[in-house]
Structure 1
Amino acid sequence: MLGSPQSAGVVLIVDDVPENLAMLHDALIGADYTVLIATGGELALERAGRLPPDLILLDALMPGIDGFETCRAFKSAAETQHIPVIFMTGLQETQHILRGFEVGGVDYVTKPIKPHEVLARIASHLKRARDMEQIQLALDAVGRAVITVNEDRVVSWQTPAAQTWLSPHIESDGCLLDAFQACLTLSEAQSLKVRTAKTNLIFRRLVGDARGITLLVSLQSTVPDPAVLQANFALTGREADVLYWIAYGKTNRDIADIIGMSPRTVDKHLEHIFAKLGVETRTAAASIALGR
């Protein structure tokens, strides 16, 4: 959503101390934000479910559902999992700061609250969220395959191309299969190749943020081993070898050099392959070998 044209953004403040609510409310209103208020975790979840804000300021320690469990609930709901959460915590509560990051917070401010610091943090994270939204729209438009996955392997966002390629590999609860677990630990300099029945899927990390890890996905077709081609299409061993390299785009002369036969013999094998597969072109034969 990221606010209306008349607003700098919509911020939900969650705190059980009236003085903190009043101070933050006045500071945010003064900076042209639309402000929602909740005095506890349950009310925060209800209000964010009805009107998802652009950012959440969340007190770490509250009666009932504390801030950590509230944040965990935000991150488990599809409509709120992408929203940046900034924790408010005491200056010396290091364990609370670490726990806030563990449950999905993107930042923290310490008490006593300094309004100018809060406004600066909010502006920074909203800008990053808007930038990410624009990037996602651009990726949708150009047809790149990109996904965002959280620490539980749940896909929170994907482009249409990624949805087409990955739908067989996503469980009913929205999680990528276990084979993709290593995606979550990729650095920006690394890639991961996952071999599936018909293709290799190559994953590269783009960025990590409150929504999870965003990955670029590319597709690399795989060719079955010659023994598999021989068994599936009633080919001779040599015919299977030729079809294998045809599927990899090799020319007849290349295949002759690789296998150790004359180009004329490759031509003969190719004629037999075409007849057995019921095709007339190298491209059609390669497509059948690739299982398309």
Structure 2
Amino acid sequence: MLEHSAYRSEAAPPHFAGDRTAVLIVDDTPDNLALLSDTLHAAGYAVLVAQNGEAALKCLSRVTPDVVLMDAMMPGMDGFETCRQLKLDTRHAHLPVIFMTALVESEHVVKGFHVGGIDYVTKPVKPAEVCARIAAHVQRSRAQQYADAVLGLETRAAVITTADGLIRWKNPQATRQLARYGDAGSADNRCATEAGTSPARLPGPLCQWLLLWTKEGGELPVTYESNENGIRRTARLTRSAVRGEWVMILEEFDDVSETVSLVSQFGITTREAEVLLWLSRGKTNRDIGDILDMAPRTVNKHLEHLFRKLHVETRSAAAALAIKAGGRH
């Protein structure tokens, strides 16, 4: 295994790059690897290396870089076959592969594009040219990833954020909900205000929660929850298509209003309405007991009364009525 201070091998941990753009160099010539890795490292990139196609695929099973520099001609599995195989993994659909080759005949150029390559540079490579092409293709790839990600988020309040709370993208629904998180002028909201005229950041409570979660290296998905005057707000975090960023789904629940509505529509007691509300949100009897501070057997007793009043026999039927009554689908 090749060792060098400027780059990591295929054994690098999945999140070694942090917020830096990560480049995987695949080349069987140590001198080429050293030249390119030194150049890219000096330019601020995180660098991975692999000396053959098999090692590259092993690396890609653990880490998804932002771009791959692929030597076309290598012993064993050549660059064309390596590219074809890595593109079979849906995680790498947008991964730009730039071929490095001394083969300038059109058939080889066409073959590179046919297996999923996006560009090529001729050997001996010119470091400045390689850096320029990497920057252009990474920018284009990320723009496509953003476009794909936001298409599925437009109907929900959603934010794409970095670990330090910098908002990369948000939709109008999220803008309205974010405005209701704390006082923008308070010390508790310093994450949102410290940047001055820089791009918008998450409100203080969410920003501090995200920073703490990131520092502790928590697992995904994870949910933040707050409750103020009967308004419960949640922020569920999942990983974005772009490394170092997360998709945050925001939701609001007016527990008091929904409870009052259930009482009015079904002629049940407030306590029964509270049980029904949490039942409709998929909570178990034990969960409901913990939330409402009652014993599980008391929850069961309320459910027995609810079933009779709602003329249903199962939990799912009762939950369906509550969801329909609240306009949730």
TM-score after normalising by structure 2: 0.41
TM-score after normalising by structure 1: 0.46
